[in-house]
Amino acid sequence: MKEKLLNILRDFRQEIDSANSLEEVETIRVAYQGKKGHLKTILKDMGKLSKEDKPVIGKLANELRDEIDATISQKVKEIKQLNMKQKMESEYIDITLPGKRQKFGAIHPTSKIIKRLIDIFYRMGFELTDGPEIESVYNNFDALNAPKSHPSRDKSDTFYFDEETILRTHTSPIQIRTMKRLKPPIRTISIGRCFRNDEFDSTHSPMFYQMEGLVVAEGVTMANLKSTLDTFARELFGEGTNTVFRPHNFPFTEPSAEVDVTCFKCKGEGCKFCSHTGYIEILGCGMIHPNVLEECGIDSEKYTGFAFGMGIDRITMMKYEIEDIRRLYENDVKFLEQFRR
């Protein structure tokens, strides 16, 4: 029996030496120390031993068990250390290597101006309203008092889907939607894309941005329109900016005006940006025509209002001194990257 035990120890040592993984060690442990392991199997015969042999063999069996236990623990420790070392080596990062440069995007200059416009008008108490780019001929023209003969309605100037549906040519149809939806007092701005069948050149784009302003309440006058636009012009272009109202004609306003502001570049001296006039045209405006108010169900005897519409691209080009509108639509990253700040 003593021999059998020593054989077990010898076999165990061999097997454990060649084990490389925790799984293998576990298999060996079960084979030797488990309930049906070699050691237990042999010790079953202890009862048959003589009185003298029993303690000797018992002691030997205990020593053997302790040795197997200790060897296994030691082996497990070694394998774990080895695994950790291999993992560290495989995940090694050379922190001295040069990094990969992160590319940051920039906000598009038109988006920056839009944000600025919203900020300015929010502070004056205006709310933002919206309308679709695909509009009815009714909202875009008829409800805005444009006669059937108005040149902008021409098939060659406007993108028609069918007789009643177009790509809106301005943001003014949002006025109609807003006045039909809300009751006075109304004080809103609306921003969006508009479409006209223009050739793409340095000052024209078939798709462009406009901002519309609308105020309807009791007792609104041209003086309110003027002070609103004066305040706006000074906020956007700086103190000392003057506005000039020139009489004009729009079907949806009466009286109507175009508004020029002091040239941002020469401050009124005259330069190439303002064609040496000292002023730059930025918008159209006027007192809302009674026909338009009535069309939207607003009593034109009780309420008056003003409206204005401006080209956002134009303003963006002025603010950032961009000389060609096409730059705003080309998605040229080299160009757009300049607007990081």
Q: Which of 139, 140, 253, 304 binds ligand DAH (CB under 6 A)?
A: 253
Comparing CB distances to ligand DAH, the nearer of 34 and 185 is 185
d(CA 318, CA 265): 8
Comparing CB distances to ligand DAH, the nearer of 71 and 139 is 139
Which 8-state DSSP code applies to residue 299?
-
Site residues for ligand DAH, 173-202, by CB under 6 A, read: none
d(CA 144, CA 173): 7
Comparing CB distances to ligand DAH, the nearer of 73 and 249 is 249
* DSSP one-letter string for 161-204: EETTEEE-SSSTHHHHHHHHHSPSSEEEEEEEEEE------SS-
Torsion sign across C-alpha atoms 189, 193, 199, 204 = positive
Question: What would the two tokens of residue 193 be?
Answer: 């894309």
What strands lie across the sheet with 207-217, from one edge to the other?
127-128, 186-195, 207-217, 304-311, 279-288, 253-262, 243-250
Q: Are 173 and 144 in contact (CB under 8 A)?
A: yes
d(CA 61, CA 54): 10
CB of 146 to ligand DAH, least distance (A): 10
Which of the stretches 4-12, 77-85, 97-105, 301-309 binds ligand DAH when contact is defined by CB under 6 A?
301-309
CB of 248 to ligand DAH, least distance (A): 8
Which of the stretches 23-31, 57-65, 232-240, 280-288 binds ligand DAH when contact is defined by CB under 6 A?
280-288
Residue, CB closest to ligand DAH:
309
Comparing CB distances to ligand DAH, the nearer of 61 and 311 is 311
Count of residues that interact with ligand DAH, criterion CB under 6 A = 11
Q: Which of 284, 315, 317, 318 binds ligand DAH (CB under 6 A)?
A: 284
Residue 304's region, left for phi above 0, alpha for psi from -120 to 50, else beta, is: beta
Q: Are 209 and 175 in contact (CB under 8 A)?
A: no
CB of 286 to ligand DAH, least distance (A): 4
Give the contact letters, 200-239, x = binds to ligand DAH (CB under 6 A), - = no: ------------x---------------------------
Which of the stretches 26-34, 85-93, 262-270, 281-289 binds ligand DAH when contact is defined by CB under 6 A?
281-289
CB of 310 to ligand DAH, least distance (A): 7
Q: Is 250 in the site for ligand DAH (CB under 6 A)?
A: yes
d(CA 307, CA 254): 10
Comparing CB distances to ligand DAH, the nearer of 57 and 285 is 285
Comparing CB distances to ligand DAH, the nearer of 32 and 121 is 121
The residue length of the chain stands at 341
Comparing CB distances to ligand DAH, the nearer of 79 and 222 is 222
Give the DSSP H or E segment for 212: strand 207-217
Comparing CB distances to ligand DAH, the nearer of 113 and 312 is 312
Comparing CB distances to ligand DAH, the nearer of 11 and 157 is 157
Site residues for ligand DAH, 303-332, by CB under 6 A, read: 307-309
Backbone angles phi, psi at 270, to 5 degrees: 105, 120
- Look at residue 266 and give its three-state secondary structure: coil
Site residues for ligand DAH, 137-176, by CB under 6 A, read: 170, 172
Question: Parallel, antiparallel, or unpaired for β 186-195 and 127-128?
Answer: parallel
Q: Residues in the site for ligand DAH, rule: CB under 6 A?
A: 170, 172, 212, 250, 253, 284-286, 307-309
